[in-house]
């Protein structure tokens, strides 16, 4: 299907959409109520354009009415995943047997897109437990594809290298900044990492491209030392689907039978393709907790030009930031990922935390705490100058001890490292 024309793909998605709407009407307490309250006749929703007639669903809605989003009883739920919940209460998603199969299919397609073949060995360097959907999806997808999995989990470079050297995986699944830690460890220990047999990595959590789809500084730093193919994948518990880059590295391809996307402005109107806006998704084929027009809070761009790989599905570019994390600084607006990436260009920095506060005159203030092998005043002002030149903002840069920052970053209550602290009142 992904090689059909974009019109055929759209028509196919609309057919799946109509099926999904009937399912929601029948099984979802939340959406049945929403249709009633807004006098929506689902038979009138036929095309993507008609979706605009239905109100969006927010994270707050799911948090407040979590149980009403379930379309099946508890006896049908096989796995209870949760959202990462770095802010606020995590939300629970129940997956049925069919949903797990859908997840496996989704991830199998992602792995096929990056070139994994039956018989390949893949090292999983993320967690599979803690109700984390992605780790489970990788395992299921590789199993379905017929590849072998090395479930090493997150962290511990020494253990990762022991397994790589012994089992010779062709692919890694990792957070990109951890690959830098792996390189550093290999250099200290004299491991010949470039010839260890690893060819490519599927990367999650941090952007490998900037808004123009060029390599981020982080991607450049990894590849300068270790010339792997670095593929970005973007997914979330709510979507239950991934957008994964092909060898053209021009954004992650849509899996047309699993999800519908819209990219909307602040007034919830579609932005032109190629421009940034909030990603809004509708899941297809989900049985347990399907979502209709869910606002992800992620700022992305949609790229519709045909791809050199031969797929005609559109692509979603890197997440440029979280909508709620937008920083306004003297006429400039920016998002934390661009700041994180700029700091990736300073290899002396061990850890950093970006803190945003609201000052007395109502503007945002940026403070960057760093622990670094180099912390002279000159070095700190070099960082500040770089921010001014590249991002047109002037943060305060302060040094802190490595231990102090690690306590903030590796919070045991969070599955993801915390490197952005928002102290603004809203
Ligand atoms: Zn492609």
Chain segment 119-131, per-residue pLDDT in tens: 999 999 999 998 9
Q: How far apart are the CA of 185 and the centre of ligand 1, in A? A: 34
C-beta of residue 236 within 8 angstroms of C-beta of residue 90: no
Rounded Cα distance, 174 and 154, in Å:
8
Dihedral, CA of residue 321, residue 322, residue 325 and residue 329, to nearest 10: 30
Q: How far apart are the CA of 422 and the centre of ligand 1, in A? A: 36
Mean pLDDT of the chain: 95
Give every CB contact of residue 401 below 8 A, 6+ residues apart in sequence. 371
Q: Is 25 a residue whose pLDDT tops 70?
A: yes
Which residues does residue 243 pair with via DSSP β-bridges, in sequence order? 234
Question: pTM for this one?
Answer: 0.92
Q: How far apart are the CA of 247 and the centre of ligand 1, in A? A: 7
Rounded Cα distance, 21 and 291, in Å:
10
Rounded Cα distance, 7 and 312, in Å:
10
Q: How far apart are the CA of 140 and the centre of ligand 1, in A? A: 23
Q: How far apart are the CA of 232 and the centre of ligand 1, in A? A: 12
Q: How far apart are the CA of 317 and the centre of ligand 1, in A? A: 12
Q: How far apart are the CA of 228 and the centre of ligand 1, in A? A: 18
What letters, b where the CB count within 10 A reaches 16 and e where it falls short, cover 17-31?
A: bbebbebbbeebebb
Q: Is 86 a residue whose pLDDT tops 60?
A: no
Q: How far apart are the CA of 318 and the centre of ligand 1, in A? A: 15
C-beta of residue 40 within 8 angstroms of C-beta of residue 47: no
pLDDT reported for residue 235: 96
Q: How far apart are the CA of 336 and the centre of ligand 1, in A? A: 27
Looking at the chain, the whole-number percentage of residues with pLDDT higher than 70 is 99
Rounded Cα distance, 228 and 193, in Å:
11
Q: How far apart are the CA of 231 and the centre of ligand 1, in A? A: 12
| Across 246-267, average pLDDT | 97
Q: How far apart are the CA of 116 and the centre of ligand 1, in A? A: 15
Q: How far apart are the CA of 281 and the centre of ligand 1, in A? A: 21
Q: How far apart are the CA of 252 and the centre of ligand 1, in A? A: 8
Q: How far apart are the CA of 3 and the centre of ligand 1, in A? A: 10
| Across 356-382, average pLDDT | 90
Place 85 in a pLDDT band, splitting at 50, 70 and 90. low
Give the helix ranges, DSSP H, for 88-197.
97-113, 133-145, 157-167, 176-189
| Across 263-275, average pLDDT | 97
C-beta of residue 373 within 8 angstroms of C-beta of residue 399: no
pLDDT reported for residue 416: 79
What's 234's DSSP letter?
E
pLDDT reported for residue 359: 81
Give every CB contact of residue 67 below 8 A, 6+ residues apart in sequence. none
Q: What is the pLDDT of residues 145-192, one digit of tens each?
A: 999 999 999 999 999 999 999 999 999 999 999 999 999 999 999 999
Q: How far apart are the CA of 315 and the centre of ligand 1, in A? A: 8
Task: Provide Rg for the chain, Cα atoms.
Answer: 22
Q: How far apart are the CA of 397 and the centre of ligand 1, in A? A: 40
pLDDT reported for residue 87: 56
Q: What is the pLDDT of residues 91-117, one digit of tens each?
A: 999 999 999 999 999 999 999 999 999
């Amino acid at each position: 299907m992904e090689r059909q024309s974009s019109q055929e793909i759209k028509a196919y998605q609309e057919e799946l959409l109509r099926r999904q709407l009937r399912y929601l009407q029948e099984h979802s307490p939340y959406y049945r109520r929403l249709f009633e309250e807004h006098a929506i006749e689902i038979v009138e929703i036929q095309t993507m354009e008609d979706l605009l007639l239905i109100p969006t669903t927010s994270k707050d809605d799911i948090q407040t009415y979590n149980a009403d989003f379930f379309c099946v009883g508890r006896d049908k739920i096989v796995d209870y995943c949760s959202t990462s919940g770095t802010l606020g209460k995590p939300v629970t998603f129940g997956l049925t047997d069919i949903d797990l199969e859908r997840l496996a299919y989704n991830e199998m397609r992602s792995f096929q897109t990056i070139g994994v073949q039956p018989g390949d060995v893949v090292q999983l360097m993320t967690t599979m437990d803690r109700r984390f959907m992605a780790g489970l999806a990788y395992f299921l997808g590789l199993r379905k594809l017929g590849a072998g999995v090395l479930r090493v989990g997150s962290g511990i470079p020494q253990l990762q290298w022991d397994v790589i050297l012994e089992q010779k995986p062709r692919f890694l699944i990792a957070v990109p900044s951890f690959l830098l830690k792996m390189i550093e460890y290999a250099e200290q220990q004299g491991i010949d990492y470039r010839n260890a047999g690893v060819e490519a990595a599927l990367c999650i959590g941090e952007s490998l491209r900037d808004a123009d789809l060029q390599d981020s500084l982080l991607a450049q730093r990894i590849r300068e030392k270790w010339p792997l193919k670095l593929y970005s994948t973007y997914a979330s518990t709510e979507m239950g689907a991934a957008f994964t880059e092909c060898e053209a590295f021009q954004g992650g391809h849509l899996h047309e039978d699993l999800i519908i996307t819209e990219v909307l402005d602040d007034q919830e109107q579609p932005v032109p393709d190629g421009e940034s806006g909030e990603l809004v998704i509708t899941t297809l084929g989900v049985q347990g907790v399907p979502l209709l027009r869910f606002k992800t809070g992620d700022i992305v761009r949609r790229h519709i030009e045909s791809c050199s790989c031969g797929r005609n599905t559109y692509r979603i570019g890197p997440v440029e930031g979280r909508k709620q994390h937008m920083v306004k600084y003297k006429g400039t607006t920016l998002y934390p990922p661009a700041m994180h990436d700029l700091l990736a260009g300073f290899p002396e920095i061990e850890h950093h935390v970006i803190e945003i506060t609201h000052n007395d005159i109502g503007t945002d203030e940026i403070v960057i705490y760093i622990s670094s092998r180099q912390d002279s005043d000159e070095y700190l002002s070099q960082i500040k100058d770089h921010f001014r030149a590249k991002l047109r903002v002037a943060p305060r840069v302060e040094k802190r001890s490595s231990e102090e920052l690690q306590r903030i970053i590796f919070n045991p209550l969070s599955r993801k490292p915390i490197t952005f602290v928002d102290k603004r009142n809203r």
